[in-house]
Amino acid sequence: MSDTLTDPHKLFDAWLAEAVASEPNDPTAMTVATVSDDGQPSARMVLMKGHDARGFVFYTNQESRKAAELASGGRAALLFHWKTLRRQIRIEGPMSIVSAEEADAYFASRARDSQLGAWASDQSRPLDRRETFEARFEEAQARFADAPVPRPPHWGGYRVAPERIEFWQDRAHRLHERRLFTREAEGWSEGLLYP
């Protein structure tokens, strides 16, 4: 049973497998929270595209607001919320950029329209009207009409290396269970938090 696992990565894998089996949409969706240089918090949903003992990976435009905040702060918080399972997982830690090889491999696996969209979008920047974006998308289609779409130089991945992982499980009468794993030099320590 997953509740008895004491390795947070194995417990995450078990909970994710249950979410994949039961969540109707995007079980890998997670909130990424960052902070700007002036202390303004910001949160948005992204899709986790990989995880292992090194951390949790997502991809984005590296000229976006989230990328600027990750670059300045070097840290992020992640939140998975699986409503049908009445569970959530909170993750906090430092961020690093994935290798070009990892980013290339993931980009190559994306749907062609998603690849073209990465070329067409100035993510997070003001857009005068939808037609401008659609025209840029059509330009990207024409540019790469007879060729594979390469990864744009401004597009890549981020890995959040967990220092804290909290597993929250709903319980009756708001007597929830919260298990906190904290990274230590030799591995992980585990404790409980009051609900």
Catalytic (active-site) positions? 174
The maximal CA–CA distance of the chain, rounded, in angstroms, is: 60
- Which of 5, 7, 52 shows the shortest CA–CA distance to 183? 7
Q: Can you give the three-state secondary structure of the chain, one letter per residue?
A: CHHHCCCHHHHHHHHHHHHHHHCCCCCCEEEEEEECCCCCEEEEEEECCEEECCEEEEEEECCCHHHHHHHHHCEEEEEEEEHHHCEEEEEEEEEEECCHHHHHHHHHHCCHHHHHHHHHCCCCCCCCCHHHHHHHHHHHHHHCCCCCCCCCCCEEEEEECCCEEEEEECCHHHCCEEEEEEEECCEEEEEEECC
How far apart, in whole angstroms, are the C-alpha atoms of residue 166 and residue 31?
Answer: 14
